[in-house]
Structure 1
Amino acid sequence: MKLLKLGLISLVILFLLATIMGTMLPSKVLVSRAINIKAPIDSVRSQIEDIRQWSNWVEGMNDPSVHIQSSVNAQIGKSEVTIAEKNDSTVISTWITAKGKPQISTMRVIYQPQQGVTIVQWQFEQSIGWLPWEKLGSIMNDKILGPMMEKNLDQLRRLIEAETSSL
């Protein structure tokens, strides 16, 4: 009986400790990456503002689990992706996971004519719940999303620079 009581008290204390540590972490997580592309802004925008073009540079977009409905809607694996807003310098999309948790993806393009470079900055923003395992698990977002974003941005750079050099 004493052992059971000690185990229960230990679990409660561990839960409280994890909750206290979790309150020190932010409720929004932002993962961001950027790349310089030696190309005009229009050639970059044409690739990022149409989901149908993402298959050229986003890994996994040619997978059978991907169903592209239109230039602004797709089912990518278990996530529903919708381009919510786009203008001359920004493409904002909403990624809703199978569990219904949204992530906001923002791709910004900034053209620097003096260098002939277009900067593409891509970020994912996610709101995190109060549960300790959600807060502590959010620490891994950068380690999971970051390398994938870097790889896809590099593929975008290679694609666009190859296209513009052949013109």
Structure 2
Amino acid sequence: MRFMKLILISIIIFGSLIFLTSLIFPSTAVVERSGVIQAPVDVVYAQINDLKAWPSWNPWAKPDSTAALSFSSPASGAGAYYTWSGKQNEGKVTILDSAPDKGIHYLMNINNLRPVNGGIEIKPTSDGKATAIFWHMEIKLGLLPWWKLRGFMADRVYGSTMNDALNKLSTICESRPQ
């Protein structure tokens, strides 16, 4: 009996320490990537604003090979969305606002995960021949330690995928006739 009390007290103390330690971690995870695409702003905007173009460059647009995608009509501009349903998960991406000279902001909801507020901002480079691009994602984590740990690793987990996506987007945009 005494051994069980000791184990119970140890679990309570250990759990409390983990929770209190997690309070020092931020409650928001932010992942950002930027680059320059050697194509005009309108070419880049056409790719990021049209959700039907996303599967060609954005790896999260088709999360698994079994996912069925469904697009709104129209599939571009503010209010446009797509949904997916697959073996691994299901979710929805909605463009919240869109401007040809600024880029887009979107909301991504994936079942059993925290919502992701994201944006892909664009502007012409100083010579006007290329496009500077800035992609950011923000995830509100709350207070639970396991979410905060996940947020602590967000840049490591999602950053390389964002780099790959920007490279694919760059290749697509630079191969378009200008």
Same fold (TM over 0.5): yes
Counterpart of 1:114, as a letter, is D
Which residue of structure 1 aligns with residue 94 of structure 2? 82
Q: By how many angstroms is 1:60 displaced?
A: 5.6
1:73 to 72, 81, 103: 81
Distance 2:81 2:43 in 1: 21
Contact 1:33-1:121 at 8 Å conserved across structures: yes
Q: Distance in 2 between matches of 1:60 and 1:135?
A: 22
Pairwise CA RMSD: 1.8
Q: Which residue of 2 aligns with 1:103?
A: 116
How far apart, CA to CA, are the structure 2 residues paired with 1:108 and 1:90? 4
- Between the aligned partners of 2:113 and 2:154, the Cα distance in structure 1 is 17
**Equivalent residue, structure 2, for 1:52:** 52
The residue that corresponds to 1:128 in the other structure is 141
Distance 2:95 2:68 in 1: 16
- Cα deviation, residue 116, structure 1: 2.4
Following TM superposition, by how much is the alpha carbon of 1:90 offset from its aligned partner in structure 2, in angstroms?
2.4
Q: Quick one: distance in 2 between partners of 1:145 and 1:121? A: 15
Unpaired segments of 5 or more residues in structure 1? none
Query: Which AA in structure 2 matches 1:101?
Result: R
Alpha-carbon shift at residue 134 of structure 1 (Å): 1.5
Query: Does structure 1 retain, via aligned residues, the 8 Å contact 2:32–2:136?
Result: yes
Q: TM-score, normalised by structure 2?
A: 0.85
Gaps of at least 5 residues in structure 2 are: none
Q: Cα offset for 1:115? A: 6.3
The letter of the residue matching 1:155 is: K
Aligned residues of 1:52 and 1:68 also touching (Cα < 8 A): no
The corresponding residue for 1:154 is 167
Q: Which moved more, 1:131-140 or 1:148-157?
A: 131-140
Q: 2:24 aligned with 1:12, yes or no?
A: no
Comparing 46-55 and 13-22, the one that deviates more: 13-22
Contact 1:66 1:74 (C-alpha < 8 Å) held by counterparts: no
User: What whole-Å deviation, never above 9, does each CA across 1:10-54 have from its counterpart, x for those lacking one?
Assistant: 111111111111111111111111121111100000000110111
Ranges of 4+ aligned residues in structure 1 off by more than 2 Å: 59-64
Q: Relative to structure 1, is the Cα distance of residues 86 and 43 closer, same or farther in structure 2, using a 3 angstrom cutoff?
A: same
Contact in 1 for aligned 2:51/2:82 (Cα 8 Å):
yes
The amino acid of 2:69's aligned partner reads H
